Structure 1
Amino acid sequence: MKAGQRTVTGKEPTWKTAMSTVPVSPLTPVELRVVDYLLQGMTPREIAAELKRSISTAHRHLRTLRFKVHCPTRCSLPALVHRLLTAHQATAPNTDAPVPDLTQREVEVLHALTEETRPFGLVTVAGLSPAETASALDTLIGKTGAATATHLVVLAHSWKLLPAQQDHATRSGASL
């Protein structure tokens, strides 16, 4: 498959890359704090407030994290958190919440959320219209008790619903 070609088969990756073969740069103590805040489901604005820094500083830290785990510049926060967890730069916290009984379609939407770094890609991979995708994601968030899509990814890792390792065909929105 050439870079930039798309497939719309539920199992085939949208973009072929070898993200797991590229080493990840170590994170600084401040970046580790930002990762902890992300795992709590915080937004960039909330992270800035916790760090007592400007929103642009929080965005700079997120940009650096994306670079270090080889995410595209505008990678979504759920995809970034998934990359951080699969690159072993963070550990999903334990949860007392029971593992929900998800349908195959809900699992596919969950995987698309973590693997596709661009909103249009999520719609394409999920095979749903934008409105259907938003509705499916809202339903999934409600069913799992997650506060946000990023929190959903953290919970899914805690429940072992998502792989602990990056696969060689991670959807990234960018090719190396």
Structure 2
Amino acid sequence: MRAQLEVNVVGLVATTQAFLPAIRAGGGRVVMISSTAGRVATPFLGAYSASKFAVEVLSDTLRQELRPWGVPVVIVEPGSFTSRNRAGTETAVRADRTSLSADAESRYGAALDAFLEFGRKTEARAGDPARVAEVVERALTTSRPRVRYLVGADSRVTVALSRLLPTGAMDALLTRAVGLPRRAGARP
């Protein structure tokens, strides 16, 4: 949790603060990289989602605060794109599993296995990160940038579903997608 917040939130704010005088002086703009996870939380990704929710909020407030100086603040929200993150997540989960108690392993082991499989399937169908780079370039260079850019079909579908479905239905959809069982003790 601390590492996620340190890198994705504290580091982002520190970098923005360091460059803001030059951005303001040069008539530039700020582009923040969030994620669909910054709008829709997924099981087992709480720390990551919390960091990206924070990026969303900080971007929104910074946009409001910089408005008097005409500095646009843009949020890019990628969906699933090829990334080394998933391999790191798998390594971290496997390392964490070695320290689980027998009770925790019996409760969460199958769910963690299902989550790892979900990650592998997601990575196998993930998009080319060059698409995200293209959107970042557009956000930086267009004369009238949008406030938010959703990148990837899965991001648009996920956000649309989260707006349309009741919370319970969305929770059921996400937990099923990740492979969590419907009830404790049941297999995923």
TM > 0.5 between the two?
A: no
The structure whose residues are more often strand, as a share, is: 2
Q: TM-score, normalised by structure 1?
A: 0.25
More helix by share: 2
TM-score for both structures, normalised by structure 2 = 0.24
